[in-house]
Structure 1
Amino acid sequence: MLRLVHYPPGHHQPKHVHGEVSLSLLLDGGLTEKVGRREVGARPGQWCHKAAGVDHATSFGPVGATTLQLVVPELSALRPGLSWRWGFDAPVTQLMWSLLGARPAASGGEWLDDLAALLAPPEEDHRVPPWWPRAHEALCDASVSIASIAADCGVHRAQLVRVTQRLAGCSPTVLRQRARLGRCLARLSSEPDLALSQVALTAGFADQAHFSRACRRWLGQAPGRWRRTWLAPHATTPVPSCAGR
């Protein structure tokens, strides 16, 4: 099952568990999730795998959050060692973005085996530099220059570009466009009466034409058609309780 879920600003989910395996991509907003003594603050572009039975608590930021959620029970059999993990890995992110445009069946197909392989934990944790989460968050904000972000992280601009390419699978410029598109998709699905031009401007696009081109590039369809698809009867509504993932 594939769905979009909107969480209200400041919402808190106390400790709870789910009986299904899920993979979520944070499209807009922010959240903090705690499992045991571990706590992760997530921003747009990060994904999370959560195995069934993982006891976790989640708090959402001042603007709430919008996530693309894929419930995949088969992953338990394909990759039994997976538990709870937030990641930046580009192949997983790109697969989730492809699902945003394609809406494939949630079971069956070769892509399930590919997904199980992609979710394998990295052999070396130091593959992700400690400054990357801060840089990633800043890169999603078009008001800050790439050179300034690199300086703030204490690295050369070229190194920031290389790490972004490796972890996000794209250049810093494309990462920003994807972040803007994520904000647009969140508003398209949560505010069905909002004009496309207003959605584009408030998300950071110069105009509706730029937004439409980005939507066609990443999702293979125009914004209006995408919204109609996700507002169809099988699309989801906000989840204000612990029933969400």
Structure 2
Amino acid sequence: MPRIFGHGQFLGQHEQRWQAPGFSVARLVPTVPEHGVEEHTHAEGHFVLVLRGSYVSSARGAPALAREPLLVYNPPGTVHRDRFRDLQGGVFVTVAVQVATLREYADAIALPDHACVLEGLAQRVARRLAAAGGEAGTADALTIESLCAELLDATATYGRTLAYRQAPAWLWRARERIHDDCGSQLGLADIAAAAGVHPVHLTRAFRRHFGGTPGDYLRRCRLAKAAGLLRARSHQGLAAVADACGYADQAHFSHAFKRAFGLSPARYREALRPPAQVCQIQDRHRRPA
């Protein structure tokens, strides 16, 4: 049974620590030699940014022996034995993401469901985060939280880009069917039949390449369509918008929309109105009958 590490717990000595709601960031030096590192797992999702030293990782895309800079993302529950080959001069930064925070972000982004090495924008954001916290710990919580959110988004984008490159043509057809018909009551069998594969094969491939289930993608398509209708047709009733986007009723639509965007459909529509229009509406409400 691998050891389970709790919140912000890593194999190293903390040099600095900085916090933001839902995130814990730290700069550490390794303290456990390679032979002393056993298989373990973390209750939370986390990133490891190797700033100095030689690092061994089992994450997808990692070389046999990685040199800095290296950025690894490990989803919650990843069992691994990642370690420094040599403790001398090693420095790394960790970003622990609480499980509740990952759930909150799940409606907006789809993070990889496997350990992976990240490059490009994700690595640049992680280095900015390390630099922000390293400035004598003076970075405010909003700056840290914003960079952590940007790191999650860049991670989802990077994983999606790699998956998209390898997705077979039939899987793209299935995805397009969901997107085009998101307002109808689609069944898994219907989508699989359109792609010419078994539903189990469809679900497995969809998660591997797009980071979630067909149902996850359908939910995001419906929310995007609803937001577009609220922007474009300001006088259309909410019940009509709910029906056009495939929701069972207006209550179900309102609940899903508020959970994703933080605003009810009515408040979202109101926030999009020009200020003059909002004032006119409020003035009319103040006038006596």
- What TM-score results when the alignment is normalised by the length of structure 1? 0.45
Is the strand fraction higher in 1 or 2? 1
Instruction: Considering fraction of residues, name the structure with more helix.
Output: 2
